[in-house]
Structure 1
């Protein structure tokens, strides 16, 4: 007969509410000369169980001198073949009008190899058998019970990975004839990174918040092919650079943000002053070269 695991933690409480899974009342328990009593099978959480009581203690499980109580799992007629459950045992006390309720706070794993779990030392026989203590009442009546609470199998989960070993992490965009661009917004070609499609959005004279003095640049999920769910998010750390065509004095800013459904683009409204841009970052053919370098992109897998 199995018992509580050595590393289990037992919490002993008093409870007014009767057991929810099964109750067993016995009259004249002292007349039972066999070492144990097994209840009929009962249904709890969709599985079959029975309550097993050793009224004189389970000597084989260090239960001498105590009431021993166990729960047995019907592994033969019950599917699946493995169930996790929390166990709370009950012994009614008429004097207190409450249930003494020791609980094993560690979840128990029931299967074909281990069908029985319980407590070998629920209550001392000295206390239980003393009528003054209230466990034996009204002509040798006593009551036991158990709650079997099923630990539901894992159904919802997510696994997030932060990928810093990206293939071809750099994307270069050559914006030609920059000085004569007339549109307010220009989009780069799409680039695939971290299993998602991205592009850069450039406002040559700045967006509405830049006062016409600065270039605005954003790194965005490609709104033509990417739509995040309400609770979905992607972490990105990337560098945006205006490349110096005459040397190595590149203008660099870092994006370090979570992309969500409500924020599918991050960047800079006042990224680079137009005066500085014309002075340093246009080549002889009036081309601005912008580079996005992805350093980290998260990928998250969800349960269905």
Structure 2
């Protein structure tokens, strides 16, 4: 636990009390609870706004896990300093259905808080409190870069190329950065616009998914693959790239420069 004075805290919830004396009269035996606010997909309430005691209560009806880890920071405005006295929980608290309330039984001594000379009660009978409830993200991502990028090469022989009649031909699967990939070849172009060209793309195999795509590498959102509509003109391909048996040799080589693992 640590405390300090800050200019403007990044709080989740703030509450201004217009009359502290009336609050004490209305709630002489119990603590005042704030309205419900949200943080980290959960609902909370701040309670205990009487200077010395501050707590946060989890609305257990919003629970989606057995336990919620949250880091608490409470704020009390000091009009004299025009700053916020903060008290921060550095270890975090585990909220659950059995223990839905956590906080600090002594944020400020009541004598210090109630004395207007100290600046916590100002303009007659006003005060201001706040709390920041920080729930760590459950999603995570780890990106690693190998010292020596691994290079992979895949070869595919397409036989009797000049007699191909189907619109698309698909290679066998190969491993591409931990994913299964395939080459899709369009011997008469992907569309009629490219009927004089060979179109070729690399796709993820059926059942494989990728969360993000880097568009620097010729990724096409229509085909959902990497490659080219116009890879080479067909007449030039027939002149220079088909062997004596009318076969086309397709090679792909790529280097895995980084890998990413993440939570679902």
TM norm structure 2: 0.60
Higher helix share: 2
Return the alpha-carbon distance in structure 1 between the equivalents of residues 190 and 119 of structure 2: 81
1:234, distance to aligned residue in structure 2 (A): 4.2
> Quick one: which of 208, 212, 216 aligns to 2:191?
208
Structure 1 partner of 2:208: 226
2:7 is equivalent to residue 10 of structure 1: yes
Structure 2 partner of 1:65: none
Where does 1:220-299 land on structure 2 (aligned, <5 Å)?
Answer: 220-222=203-205, 224-227=206-209, 232-235=211-214, 256-257=217-218, 264-296=224-256, 299=259
Where does 1:176-215 land on structure 2 (aligned, <5 Å)?
Answer: 176-215=159-198
1:191, distance to aligned residue in structure 2 (A): 0.9
Structure 2 partner of 1:86: 73
| Secondary structure, aligned partner of 2:227 | strand
| Secondary structure, aligned partner of 1:277 | helix
Aligned partners of 2:54 and 2:105 also within 8 Å: yes
2:106 is equivalent to residue 109 of structure 1: no
| Secondary structure, aligned partner of 1:282 | coil
1:160, distance to aligned residue in structure 2 (A): 4.3
TM norm structure 1: 0.54
Return the alpha-carbon distance in structure 2 between the equivalents of residues 10 and 217 of structure 1: 59
Structure 2 partner of 1:36: none
Return the alpha-carbon distance in structure 1 between the equivalents of residues 194 and 92 of structure 2: 70
Q: What are the ranges of 5 or more consecutive residues in structure 1 without an aligned counterpart?
A: 27-38, 54-68, 74-78, 94-99, 136-141, 237-254
Return the alpha-carbon distance in structure 1 between the equivalents of residues 218 and 172 of structure 2: 22
| Structure 1 pair 210–42 and aligned structure 2 pair: CA distance change class (3 A) | same
Higher strand share: 1
How much is the aligned-residue C-alpha RMSD, in angstroms? Answer: 4.9
Give the aligned length. 228
* Residue deviations 1:62-99 (CA, integer Å, cap 9, x gap): xxxxxxx78589xxxxx989742232214699xxxxxx
2:125 is equivalent to residue 147 of structure 1: no
Select the structure of larger CA radius of gyration. 1
Return the alpha-carbon distance in structure 2 between the equivalents of residues 185 and 81 of structure 1: 51
Return the alpha-carbon distance in structure 1 between the equivalents of residues 188 and 69 of structure 2: 65
